[in-house]
Structure 1
Amino acid sequence: MRRLWGRLSSVNVQKAVWGLEELGLPYERVEAGGAHGRVRDPDYLALNPNGLVPVLEEDGFVLWESNAILRHLAETHGRGGLWPQEPQARAHVNQWLDWQATAFTPAMRDAFWQTVRVPEAERDPAVIARSVAETEACAAILDAHLAGRAFAVGDHFTAADIALGCPAHRWLHLAVPRQPRPALEAWYARIAARPAAATVLLTPIT
């Protein structure tokens, strides 16, 4: 029995769901977080003391942190595909998973929160502008890396494309001014066309 806890509008839950869908693994998703609540309930905190989503349960095995879940799924079920066999390629997948978690998504957080969840009259333009500038710097790095590449690592779709693709989806659909990033946008269109991506990338940004 495989269960994933978390609301699909969460960018972190999206990574786990996309991984499960790409691998064709059966799972049950339980709504949690945001308006669904549950994350402060004692039974949920017993699974994840941080009170965050997602959480993966597999026959008594419990794992939290979205990139840890994505790594686990890819390494266990996606060897040679989502998780490359070649050690240096795997190292680069890990590099981009870490960069997404420590740079790309954190840079975007305030721009997302202010433009999506804060009423317009209460928004802070300076906070938005700072977050947009920080995210633009990350987008420039990713765009330069993707120039001449079909995917983030090597010649095939990997877990790195999932980890980067979910925040890229959010960034490209925020109501903020953005610089054109041809390589990033072409890569995003390519990965968004994958059947497994529809489950997460058609979800409204909320």
Structure 2
Amino acid sequence: MYTLFYYPRNASLAPHFVLKALNVPYQLELVDRKKLMQKSAQYVQMNPTGRIPTLVDDDFILFESAAICLYLCEKHPNGHLIPTEPQAKAEFYQWLMYLTTTLQNELMVYYYPERHTQSAIMYDDIVNTQQSRIRECLELLNRYIGEKVYMVNEQFTVCDCYMFMLCIWADELKNPPLSFKNLNRYLKGLAKHPAIKAVCDNEQTDLCAYK
């Protein structure tokens, strides 16, 4: 059985969606960020980055959210969470990389400005700059989504899991994802997916805004 070390609304959310969508046996192990348990000696021995999530599969340990998602999908190909046709698969990787290396990175800078300057007076400037940078990312995604139901190949994939996670993170911005017409429709559709609904209920993440 898989064990996912997680904390609600953290980067463990996408792998949690994937586990639920694959309908495989798993258990959750809470890593209490409020007590900085992700920095504890016991946890760091398992995950040297001191970050969440971590996946344990028997004696195999894996960290980094996207890597966990891909590992699970490749172990369970019948779940069809990664396209198989070459061009659709390439497009899948393109958008997954964009979400992980661009949008997620911009959100991390927004939420943790203190990690990017030694001067506290710069925090507000960084946050304001990030609002603009994230808006540009969301504008691009809004154009791409258009009338699509899912991000790639008209099938529910890891990209949708990752997208929903990041959009939840971005819901407090001046221009949140739901303020964009196409993203609003797309995200409200995803919120009805059984895996999304079940996991958000489990992690006590309110989806009222997505109704």
1:176 aligns with 2:174: yes
1:6 aligns with 2:3: no
Q: Distance in 1 between matches of 2:162 and 2:176?
A: 21
Unpaired segments of 5 or more residues in structure 1? Answer: 115-121
Alignment deviations for residues 71-113 of structure 1 (CA, whole Å, 9 cap, x no partner): 1111221446211121221222211111111111122234445
Q: Distance in 2 between matches of 1:135 and 1:92?
A: 21
Q: Distance in 2 between matches of 1:45 and 1:194?
A: 34
Is the 2:9–2:169 Cα contact (8 Å) retained in structure 1?
no
- Worse-superposed segment, 83-92 or 181-190: 83-92
Q: Distance in 2 between matches of 1:4 and 1:103?
A: 25
In the other structure, the counterpart of 1:154 is 153
Is the 2:18–2:72 Cα contact (8 Å) retained in structure 1?
yes
C-alpha RMSD over aligned residues: 2.4
1:200 aligns with 2:200: yes
Matching residue's letter, 2:72: L
Is the 1:108–1:134 Cα contact (8 Å) retained in structure 2?
no
SS in 2 for 1:190: helix
Matching residue's letter, 1:97: L
Q: 1:147 to 1:127 in 2, by over 3 A?
A: same
In the other structure, the counterpart of 1:49 is 48
Q: Distance in 1 between matches of 2:152 and 2:94?
A: 10
Q: Distance in 1 between matches of 2:147 and 2:48?
A: 43
Alpha-carbon shift at residue 160 of structure 1 (Å):
0.9
Map 1:1-206 onto structure 2 (within 5 A).
1-10=1-10, 12-79=11-78, 81-112=80-111, 124-171=123-170, 173-178=171-176, 180-198=179-197, 199-200=199-200, 202-203=204-205
- Worse-superposed segment, 97-106 or 122-131: 122-131
Alignment deviations for residues 38-87 of structure 1 (CA, whole Å, 9 cap, x no partner): 32333322211111110000111111000000011112214462111212
Give TM-score, length-normalised by structure 1: 0.85
Q: Distance in 2 between matches of 1:131 and 1:96?
A: 20
Matching residue's letter, 1:69: I
SS in 1 for 2:185: helix
Unpaired segments of 5 or more residues in structure 2? Answer: 114-120, 207-211
Alpha-carbon shift at residue 8 of structure 1 (Å):
1.7
SS in 2 for 1:39: helix
Give TM-score, length-normalised by structure 2: 0.83
Q: 1:49 to 1:113 in 2, by over 3 A?
A: closer
Aligned residues: 196
Is the 1:6–1:55 Cα contact (8 Å) retained in structure 2?
yes
